C-alpha cells in the first residue's frame, strides 16, 4: 500500500465515523492514524547509522574475464535493521545483482559479487543505493552513497602463432639519435647511475674505472617501429556483438600489439575517425596500457575512409618501419596508398575482416578484387572470415 492509499483510507474511515457516529469506527480511525504516524517515524530511522562501501578487484579486465566486487555494510547503531535492499546503479552491460538482507546492531555484513566482462568499454560504477522502510511497507526511504569506480574492459588477446613481425627493408639499423628508456641493440653512451636504473644495465668496467656506478644508455632504432592502422569507418563495418567486424578487428589489433611489444618492438596506432588519431610508437607496458585503453573505447563511428587516413599519415612513417592495416573495407582505393608504403621501404601487411552478414556475389567479387590487387602489389594479406579463428590468421601466408 502506498502512502496516498493509506491517506485515502483514513479519510474515508474518518468521514464515515463522523457521519455515522459509530464509536468503533472512530476508534479504528484514530488507531490507523496512530499506526501511520508511528510507521512514518520508524521509516525515518531505518537508514540511520548505516554505511556501505565497495571495492573493485581490478581496475581493468579483458573481454571474458570475471571481475570481483566486494561490498561491506556497517550498522553503527545498537538497534538492528529488519530489512534492507542494497543495489548499485551503473552503465555495466547487464544489471549488477543486488541483495536484500537484515543486519543486527553494531555489526557488519560482507559479500562479494562476480560479474563477467561481456563488452568492451569504459564503465562507471555507482552510486550504491540503500532502500528500506517500515514493517508494513507504507513509507519507503532511500539513500544514495556516492562510490564512483571505473572499470576498463580491454579487448580479448589471442595468440598469433602464424603471424610474424615484418622485418625492415633497410640493410642495417637506422638510428634516430634519440635516447630510449628501453633496451635496444644500440648503445649510445655511458652515464652515472641514478635511482631506479636497472642493475642489468650497469657497465662494470666504466664503474670500476670511475669508482662509481655507471649505466649504459641506448639509442632508439627506428627500424623497429611498427604502425598499425585500425579502420573504424562506419560505412564498412557490419554486425553486432562479438561477431561484428569492429570487434573482430579490435581483437586482431590487440593481439598484434601484445605480440609485438613482447618482442620489444616499438608500436604505434592510427585510427580513422572524424580525423586520423595517431598514437606515436613506443615500447613497454606503459605503451600497452595506452593502446588497450584506446581500443577499449573505440567504436565503428568514423567517417574518414582508410585510404585518406593512409595518405594523411604516410609522411609520419620513417623508412625502415613496418605497417599492418586492419580493415573491413572492400574499396580498392586504399590499396594504392598501401603499395606506396611498401615502395617507400616500409614492410606492409593487411588483414581484411569479413562481414558476418550474408553477402552476395558482388560483395565476393569486390573482396577478391581487393585481395588480388594486394597480391599484385606484393603486400601479404590475410582474409578473416566470419567463422575463421583469429589464431589461424596468416596461416596460409606462412605456409606459402
- State the chain's mean pLDDT as an integer: 88
Q: State pLDDT tens for residues 95-115.
A: 999 999 999 999 999 999 999
- DSSP H helical segments within the chain, as ranges? 3-20, 23-45, 204-210, 245-262, 284-297, 306-313, 335-343, 361-376, 395-399
Q: State pLDDT tens for residues 304-314.
A: 999 999 999 99
Print the domain residue range for 32: 3-45
Indicate if 26 and 112 belong to the same structural domain.
no
Indicate if 231 and 110 belong to the same structural domain.
no
Listed residue (386, 306, 389, 399) closest to 348, CA to CA: 306
Indicate if 355 and 283 belong to the same structural domain.
yes
Residue 150 lies in a domain: yes
Whether the per-residue pLDDT at 178 is higher than 50: the answer is no
Structure-model confidence comparison of residues 318 and 188, the more confident one: 318
Structure-model confidence comparison of residues 287 and 30, the more confident one: 287
Whether the per-residue pLDDT at 220 is higher than 60: the answer is no
The answer to whether 210 touches 360, Cβ cutoff 8 Å, is: no
Q: State pLDDT tens for residues 231-269.
A: 999 999 999 999 999 999 999 999 999 999 998 889 999
Which residue in this structure is represented by grid cell 565497495? 54
Structure-model confidence comparison of residues 209 and 298, the more confident one: 298
Indicate if 248 and 265 belong to the same structural domain.
yes
Total structural domains within the chain: 4
Mean pLDDT of 138-144: 90
Residue 353 lies in a domain: yes
Residue 10 lies in a domain: yes
Amino acid 15: pLDDT: 86
CATH code for the domain of 285 = 3.40.50.410
Let me know if 114 is exposed, middle or buried by CB neighbors in 10 A (0-12, 13-18, 19+): exposed
Indicate if 108 and 256 belong to the same structural domain.
no
Amino acid 219: pLDDT: 56
DSSP H or E stretch at residue 97: none
Size of the chain in residues: 400
Indicate if 122 and 188 belong to the same structural domain.
no
Distance CA 62, CA 292 (A): 9
Amino acid 175: pLDDT: 44
Please state, as a whole number, how many other Cβ atoms lie within 10 Å of the Cβ of residue 63.
21
Whether the per-residue pLDDT at 196 is higher than 80: the answer is no
Amino acid 167: pLDDT: 59
Indicate if 26 and 71 belong to the same structural domain.
no
Indicate if 248 and 326 belong to the same structural domain.
yes
Lowest mean pLDDT, pick from 153-167, 182-196, 263-277: 182-196
pLDDT band at 400 (very low <50, low <70, confident <90, very high): low
Which residue in this structure is represented by grid cell 581496475? 59
Amino acid 322: pLDDT: 93
Let me know if 5 is exposed, middle or buried by CB neighbors in 10 A (0-12, 13-18, 19+): exposed
Amino acid 2: pLDDT: 65
Residue 103: cis peptide before it, omega within 30 degrees of 0: no
Indicate if 254 and 299 belong to the same structural domain.
yes
Structure-model confidence comparison of residues 34 and 149, the more confident one: 149
Cα→Cα distances 371→240, 320, 379, Å: 25, 24, 9
Mean pLDDT of 382-389: 94
Residue 160 lies in a domain: no
Mean pLDDT of 168-179: 46
Let me know if 358 is exposed, middle or buried by CB neighbors in 10 A (0-12, 13-18, 19+): exposed
Amino acid 216: pLDDT: 82
Lowest mean pLDDT, pick from 50-64, 183-197, 234-248, 362-376: 183-197
Amino acid 239: pLDDT: 95
Amino acid 380: pLDDT: 94
pTM for this one?
0.79
Lowest mean pLDDT, pick from 161-175, 278-292, 367-381: 161-175
Mean pLDDT of 346-363: 93
Indicate if 215 and 237 belong to the same structural domain.
no
Amino acid 21: pLDDT: 82
CATH code for the domain of 148 = 2.60.40.10
Amino acid 172: pLDDT: 43
Residue 171 lies in a domain: no
Mean pLDDT of 375-393: 94
Lowest mean pLDDT, pick from 46-60, 81-95, 214-228, 341-355: 214-228
Structure-model confidence comparison of residues 20 and 144, the more confident one: 144
pLDDT band at 353 (very low <50, low <70, confident <90, very high): very high
Indicate if 335 and 347 belong to the same structural domain.
yes
Structure-model confidence comparison of residues 397 and 25, the more confident one: 25
The answer to whether 335 touches 349, Cβ cutoff 8 Å, is: no
Indicate if 240 and 370 belong to the same structural domain.
yes
Residue 15 lies in a domain: yes
Mean pLDDT of 297-304: 94
Residue 165 lies in a domain: no
Residue 389 lies in a domain: yes
Q: State pLDDT tens for residues 46-82.
A: 999 999 999 999 999 999 999 999 999 999 999 999 9
Amino acid 25: pLDDT: 85
Amino acid at each position: 500500500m502506498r502512502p496516498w492509499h493509506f491517506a485515502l483510507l483514513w479519510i474515508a474511515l474518518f468521514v464515515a465515523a463522523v457521519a455515522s457516529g459509530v464509536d468503533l469506527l472512530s476508534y479504528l480511525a484514530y488507531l490507523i492514524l496512530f499506526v501511520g504516524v508511528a510507521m512514518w517515524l520508524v521509516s525515518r530511522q531505518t537508514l540511520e547509522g548505516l554505511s556501505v562501501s565497495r571495492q573493485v578487484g581490478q581496475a581493468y579486465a579483458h573481454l571474458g574475464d570475471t571481475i570481483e566486487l566486494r561490498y561491506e555494510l556497517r550498522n553503527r547503531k545498537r538497534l538492528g535493521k529488519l530489512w534492507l535492499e542494497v543495489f548499485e546503479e551503473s552503465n555495466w552491460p547487464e544489471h549488477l545483482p543486488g541483495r536484500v538482507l537484515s543486519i543486527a546492531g553494531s555489526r557488519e555484513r560482507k559479500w562479494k559479487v562476480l560479474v563477467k566482462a561481456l563488452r568492451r568499454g569504459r564503465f562507471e560504477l555507482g552510486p550504491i543505493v540503500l532502500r528500506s522502510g517500515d514493517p508494513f511497507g507504507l513509507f519507503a526511504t532511500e539513500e544514495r552513497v556516492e562510490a564512483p569506480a571505473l572499470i576498463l574492459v580491454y579487448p580479448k588477446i589471442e595468440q598469433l602463432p602464424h603471424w610474424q613481425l615484418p622485418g625492415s627493408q633497410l640493410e642495417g639499423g637506422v638510428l634516430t639519435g634519440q635516447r630510449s628508456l628501453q633496451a635496444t641493440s644500440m648503445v649510445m653512451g655511458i652515464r652515472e647511475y641514478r635511482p631506479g636504473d636497472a642493475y642489468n644495465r650497469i657497465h662494470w668496467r666504466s664503474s670500476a674505472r670511475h669508482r662509481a656506478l655507471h649505466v649504459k644508455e641506448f639509442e632508439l632504432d627506428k627500424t623497429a617501429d611498427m604502425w598499425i592502422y585500425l579502420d573504424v569507418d562506419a560505412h564498412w563495418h557490419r554486425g553486432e556483438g562479438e561477431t561484428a567486424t569492429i570487434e573482430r578487428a579490435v581483437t586482431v589489433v590487440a593481439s598484434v600489439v601484445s605480440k609485438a611489444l613482447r618482442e620489444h618492438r616499438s608500436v604505434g596506432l592510427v585510427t580513422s575517425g572524424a580525423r586520423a588519431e595517431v598514437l606515436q610508437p613506443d615500447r613497454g607496458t606503459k605503451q600497452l596500457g595506452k593502446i588497450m585503453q584506446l581500443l577499449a573505447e573505440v567504436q565503428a563511428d568514423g567517417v574518414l575512409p582508410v585510404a585518406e587516413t593512409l595518405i594523411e599519415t604516410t609522411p609520419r612513417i620513417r623508412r625502415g618501419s613496418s605497417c599492418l592495416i586492419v580493415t573491413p573495407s572492400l574499396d580498392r582505393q586504399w590499396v594504392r596508398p598501401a603499395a606506396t608504403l611498401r615502395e617507400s621501404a616500409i614492410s606492409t601487411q593487411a588483414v581484411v575482416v569479413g562481414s558476418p552478414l550474408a553477402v552476395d556475389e558482388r560483395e565476393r567479387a569486390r573482396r577478391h578484387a581487393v585481395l588480388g590487387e594486394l597480391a599484385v602489389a606484393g603486400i601479404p594479406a590475410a582474409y578473416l572470415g566470419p567463422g575463421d579463428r583469429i589464431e589461424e590468421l596468416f596461416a596460409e601466408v606462412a605456409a606459402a
